[in-house]
Structure 1
Amino acid sequence: MSVITVPQQTSTTRSSVWKHGVAAAAAAAAATTTVAAVASSAGVSFADRSGASIPVAAFTQLTLIFSLVGVALAAVLARKARRPRPTFVRTTVALTVLSLVPDATFGFDGASAATLMSLHVLAAAIVIPTLARRLA
């Protein structure tokens, strides 16, 4: 009878998830804010049908908040999941797809909706691979 051993996550691995995750969150926030500012200066309004517009600073805040939620998820999965990497990737890709729904349904014009969706994908493209590489 063979015994299968599962490598244990060390505190170094968990701290690596947090350290790299926070850095990825900051990079994603900077990237989304820069692209949003460029799009705004090019005429993208980020206003919904009620006329309420998303301020550029909100891109920084929301990207940081939701990226840090992803970092926390990765840290928990690193500790608790049998297969943390595929579980994290599947979960975060599904959440990214779900995050596109409001952009398509809240009454943004085509340019605003497309830009908002692109920003969600941009942030995910920075944060998800960075964290996935740190998971077993």
Structure 2
Amino acid sequence: MSTTYSPSTSTSTSTSHATGRRTVWRHGLAASVVAAVVTTTLAAIASAAGVSFADSSGESIPLAGFTQLTLVFSLVGVGLAAVLARRARRPRRTFVRTAVALTVLSWVPDLVVGFDAASAATLIGLHTVAACIVVPTLASRLDG
């Protein structure tokens, strides 16, 4: 009995991993844009409803800041997912656990910087909304 080498198996595996990484980036970028639009819109609504987003020094978060920071940190998540897709034994599980931990850590500044209760609660909610958009999108593109 002899065993033969099948180059098509090796090639298709490499191609599917490369395609998977492109899919993570493409879907992650789209989810990041959606999250930025949603969080900015919700921040504008909250601001119109009277939430100040001013810290104890009186500095207020500009509306564009919500867009920029949501995009930046969502893209960090996309990069993390892409790296884990390559390196982790169980990329989806590792990514979700890491993303949830990082989302909870993102609440800390909202609680300690000196925002009033309404601002802090709204900011925590906005972080959570962004994560609820980006994390499942990326997780669905990763293997177990």
Larger Rg: 2
Whichever residue aligns with residue 73 of structure 1, its letter is L
| Superposition pairs of residues 45-64 of structure 1, within 5 angstroms | 45-64=52-71
Q: CA deviation at 1:10?
A: 1.3
Q: Does 1:10 align with 2:17?
A: yes
Q: Deviations over 1:23-49 (max 9, x none)?
A: 000000000000000001111000001
> Structure 2: how far apart are the matches of 1:18 and 1:79?
13
1:57 Cα shift?
A: 0.5
**Which residue number in structure 1 is paired with residue 7 of structure 2?**
none
Q: Tell me how far apart the structure 1 counterparts of residues 72 and 84 of structure 2 sit (CA, whole Å).
A: 18
Rounded to whole Å, the distance in 2 between the matches of 1:10 and 1:76 is 12
- Identical-pair percentage: 69
Output the aligned Cα RMSD.
1.0
2:48 pairs, out of 32, 41, 46, with 41
Q: Which runs of 5+ in 1 are unaligned?
A: 1-6
In 1, Cα distance between equivalents of 2:92 and 2:26? 17
Unaligned runs of 5+ in 2: 1-12
| Matched letter for residue 26 of structure 2 | K
1:134 is the counterpart of 2:138: no
Aligned length: 130
| Residue of structure 2 equivalent to 1:68 | 75
**1:85-109 Cα deviation digits (max 9, x unpaired):** 0000000100000000110111100
| 1:29 partner letter | A
**TM-score normalised by length of structure 2:** 0.88
In the TM superposition, structure 1's runs of 4+ consecutive aligned residues that sit over 6 Å from their partners are none
